[in-house]
A and B are shown apart, each in its own frame.
Chain A
Amino acid sequence: MPYSSESFKSFNPTGEIILALLIIGVLMILAIVVGILAKKADPTKKPRGLLLLVEWCVEKLDATVHETMGPGFENFGGLLLAIIPFLFLSFTIGITGLPTPMSNIAVPLTLALITFVLIHVTSIRYTRWRYFKRFIDPIPVFLPVNLISMWAPLISMTLRMFGNAIVGWVLISLLNSLLGNISSAIFSFAPAGLNSVFITPIVTPVFHAYFDLFSGFIQTMVFVFLTMLFIAQERPEDVETEVALATRKENHV
């Protein structure tokens, strides 16, 4: 179908995409508020409230990035601070009963694509023209193998997030239908349609807490750590590259 104004009018997003956009909007407003607060804040006084929380997060994140990735990635915390709240919110929004944005494969694919692009950009940044050598490593016969295995991080990261979200959704909906059937069998004296709601609200919160909160937290952490490790391993180990030297000089001056 060619691009036209019709194809934009027929744009029909599913609930997951709308929720993802809503979360992005909320986080953008929050970011603007924090930015205004940070600009107005008096640097000689102690930060309070929201600003204190954000400053603590930034400090922790910078320490983690420095510990995990080493020198040359001093500004990397900004990306993570943008990705972490979105990931965590979009996993934990399932606790309200709304569909998790992660259960539409477009959302995790986009997030994994960010990491995938960054891996290759970092590789080009550090190795320049030697970047193309990674496709014929160690001998040119490995070219087709390398061309295929290059997509492995993208696919595995996408399917990990998508799989986790869809697992929680399937298990909770199976549990809901099971508990509904049990409840309507026990409370068969109640009017039909009403008798299936008695057991479900007592049992499911535990599973919601596990599959949405705990699993969401773990998956956020795993995605962030994998992003950091994948990108950090693109930096040559003992070669003191120009970029690392330049960033170090900037930081010292």
Chain B
Amino acid sequence: MKDPLIAIAAGIAILSAGASSIGEGYLCGKAIEGMSRNPEMYGKLRSSMIIGCALVETCGIYSLLISILLLFVF
């Protein structure tokens, strides 16, 4: 049987996904603000917003990888 502390550690490791989702929401909000200010920039802002979202999401994915490794390796 596994050490139950590992499950708690995995749960703590995934907490950083919350922070990254806050950042993602802030990014999207700001991008939409910019889009509504000048709609002709819509295409450019959308593509850079998606890239920014992916970059921010990487942090969450790292934390998820760490928690998966904690669950499956130990």
Q: Which residues from chain A sit less than 8 Å from chain B, CB to CB?
A: 156, 159-160, 162-164, 166-167, 170, 218-219, 221-222, 225-226, 229
Contact = CB atoms under 8 A, between A and B. Distances in A.
B54 A167 contact: no
A222 B51 CA distance: 6
A194 B57 CA distance: 39
Interface in B8-66: 47, 50-51, 54, 57-58, 61-62, 64-65
A225 B61 contact: no
A159 B54 contact: no
Q: Helix, strand, loop or mixed for chain A's interface?
A: helix
B70 interface: no
Nearest to A167: B64
Nearest to A162: B65
Contacts, number: 35
A152 to B, nearest CB: 11
A159 B64 contact: no
Nearest to A67: B44
A222 B65 contact: no
A222 B50 contact: yes
A221 B50 contact: yes
A166 B68 contact: yes
B50 A218 contact: yes
Given A170-B68, A225-B47, A163 B61 contact: yes
A159 B58 contact: yes
A219 B54 contact: yes
7 contacts: A163-B61, A163-B62, A166-B68, A218-B50, A221-B47, A225-B51, A226-B51
Contact of A160 (B47, B50, B58, B68): B58
Contacts of B57: 160
